[in-house]
Chain A
Amino acid sequence: MFRRMLVLLDAGLVGRRVVPWVRRLLVPVHGDVRLLVVLPPGRTVTAGSRTLIYADQGEDAARDAVGVALAVVAAQLRDDGLAASSEVRFGDPGVEALEVAQAWGAEAIALVDVPAHGARRWLTRSVADEIVQKSPFPVLVARASGQRAA
């Protein structure tokens, strides 16, 4: 049975829908939760020959913005007796999530499957599919909508 769970969230924290389930599964064993948000890598913005924002500046700003929302979720989990920490990374969500899970020693991964719409649905692969396929741990998948909450 697992007691260390990695929770993969998105920038808009739609993935928060899975948190009540994580709480419900881990509170009885005083589990350990790592909240992870993976954002697209920052890009340097230039206007002509002038650089307006460097990639690292953009990443720092994005990290700060998401960090505030993550801190609230982590505080709520701590309030329920769980050990909670958070991390913001940049890159491919599937790859980064599996890397963090391995490095941190996660025993399960939780995430919300946010389906793509239109042509993207056929052209891209969902992060949930990728993680379920590659993960050596159990993966808890909730849907973004149309599903009962915990």
Chain B
Amino acid sequence: MRIKMLMRCTSGTVEARESLAAASMRLASDSGGCLVVTDGGRLAGVLTPADARAAGPSTVPSLAVHEWPAFTSRLTVADAMRRDPVVVPPDATPGDAAHAMRTRGHRAAVVVDGSEVVGVVTTTDLLGTLVQRLERATPPRLLAASTSRRCRSRTALDLALGIARRHRATLTLLHVMRGLSLRVAEGLPSGVDADVQRWRLAEVRAALIRRVPPEDRSVVRVEVRAGDVVEGVLNGAATTGAELIVMGGRPGASLVRETMRRAPCPVLAA
């Protein structure tokens, strides 16, 4: 990974003598969150939202609200910018840039190719790379949600087992089944409906365990719940900290669609 793959295009250039208030407004509307400051065409510094805030009036002292504009209008970009910015070439590694920024306490580095400014890279960008590396080093947590014992759910389970094997991921096989229908429950003597429900859960659990090859059983947890299917899957994802839900079901079924809309992580619909 090189900085040229990571950098943002120069989101804006501002002259050092320009008003800080105007530059702050540009920063607020700029997702890049960093302006390159020039002075007579030469690179003079960088301005981040934190730099602009630090140079402005404190929110604590006794300045009245109407006095703030008078105070801030006197400030220029040169008063707030970080002079002598960290400059890195496009072929530098994120590690080089992070090291230089950390050593000098800067939040952004300017990417310069020859004498031309081609982009900026901020701590947020570098943090994104760090997160990716950390997550690559950690096996993902998968949740395979099965809503029926039909063919599609089996495909989803096989797919989830394949991914888990390939990534050495921890996998939770979750089957959520609806409770007994009122008509059935009412026809049963008191207490028997609960026994029937427990028997159904145990039967499904045993069937799911049988589907897991013996060599995978150490990394696969099987869980069976009763209740609303979508809520059950979402709760299962939350409690297992799932990073990916693999779900079977009729294509376009409302259960799959609803889960996709509300899931805390991506859903792989098989």
Contact = CB atoms under 8 A, between A and B. Distances in A.
A68 B260 CA distance: 30
Contacts, number: 77
Contact of B266 (A21, A23, A79, A129): A21
Interface in A19-36: 20-21, 23-25, 27-29
B265 interface: yes
Contacts of B270: 138
Given A29-B166, A132-B257, A133-B252, A24 B140 contact: yes
A72 interface: yes
B159 A132 contact: no
A138 B261 contact: no
B163 A147 contact: no
Contacts of B162: 1
Nearest to A140: B268
Interface in A96-149: 108, 113, 115, 128-129, 132-135, 138-143, 147-149
Given A113-B260, A147-B265, A138 B5 contact: no
6 contacts: A24-B136, A132-B260, A138-B268, A139-B268, A142-B266, A143-B260
A52 interface: no
B136 A129 contact: no
B159 A141 contact: no
A84 interface: no
Q: Of A25, A132, A134, which is in contact with the most chain B CB atoms at under 10 Å from its CB? A: A132
Contacts of A141: 260, 266-269
Interface string B1-45: 110010000000000000000000000000000000000000000
Given A1-B163, A24-B140, A139-B269, A132 B251 contact: yes
